[in-house]
Chain A
Amino acid sequence: MSLKISKRDVGGVTVLDLNGRLTLGDASAQLRETLRGLATQGGPKIILNMGQVVYIDSSGLGELVSGFTTVKNQGGQLKLANLTQKVTDLLTITKLYTVFEIHNDEGAAVQSFS
């Protein structure tokens, strides 16, 4: 299963719905290009809806960190929402839970921007 990325606008916040596996290869490259494209628009507010992400490997983690830094460097913010238990565990053991702003659901993540 590859990664599908769908983009929505919710009150000025860009929500990217990720569906599938975020792993080494096309999936990581696809997320990188999407986030770079959004970052160039200046100060983007982005939520990654991770509810349908079934698997992340170390390359996928690296891509999340890369995207976070890219968006931040352009004056924007990237937040995570709807993490599965497996992804939560992965972010916890790698201490990335302390890097990302994480919300239980999309609504709370959108509200956090206001």
Chain B
Amino acid sequence: MGSQPRRVCVTLESRLESMDLGEEIARCVAGTAAFDEDEQHRISMAVRECVINAFKHGNCSDVRKKIEVDFTLLADRLVVAVRDEGKGFSLNQLPDPLADERLLATSGRGIFLMRCFMDDLRVVSGPDGGTVVTMTKRLPSNHKPTAAAETTKERQP
């Protein structure tokens, strides 16, 4: 069994178009990892929501700031880390979007959706700024990893 992790790292600009790009790359990576179509949809949506958060709340739509998305495919799971240049946040401080008084809120569902669609979600804010949201999804039981290990570094034009 090939146990070498495979990685795809993408640097996105803080622009609206990056949301679609991050989502599409996530869908491709999830497909490579043998997730079925429904799971590909959930994973790509979680990544899209994470990139939206990084864009809107982390980088405050500042085009000078970047969003790094790092996909690592391990033998048993897919790990996605999204890094922004913002001040960070605490999961404990986020209101519950399912609370009756929040049902008519027009925002605040992004992190909730990420948690629904992925198996694990963690947030770490660096001492010098920047926040990394790391999401994990266990691979389907029928996944057979390929032997070839590769590392790809891409940069958005």
Contact = CB atoms under 8 A, between A and B. Distances in A.
B107 A62 contact: yes
Interface residues of B, number: 20
A55 to B, nearest CB: 8
Nearest to A28: B106
A77 to B, nearest CB: 15
Nearest to B114: A58
Given A65-B104, A94-B98, A96-B103, A24 B109 contact: no
Sort chain A's interface into a size bin.
Answer: 20 to 34
B107 A99 contact: no
Interface of A: 23-25, 57-59, 61-63, 65-66, 68-69, 86, 90, 93-96, 98-99
Given A58-B49, A58-B110, A93-B116, 10 more contacts: A57-B49, A58-B52, A62-B105, A65-B104, A65-B106, A68-B104, A86-B41, A93-B113, A94-B113, A95-B103
Interface of B: 16, 19-20, 41, 45, 48-49, 52, 97-98, 103-107, 109-110, 112-113, 116
22 contacts: A23-B20, A24-B19, A24-B52, A57-B49, A58-B52, A58-B107, A58-B109, A58-B113, A59-B107, A62-B105, A62-B109, A65-B103, A65-B104, A68-B104, A69-B104, A93-B113, A93-B116, A94-B97, A94-B109, A95-B103, A98-B103, A99-B104
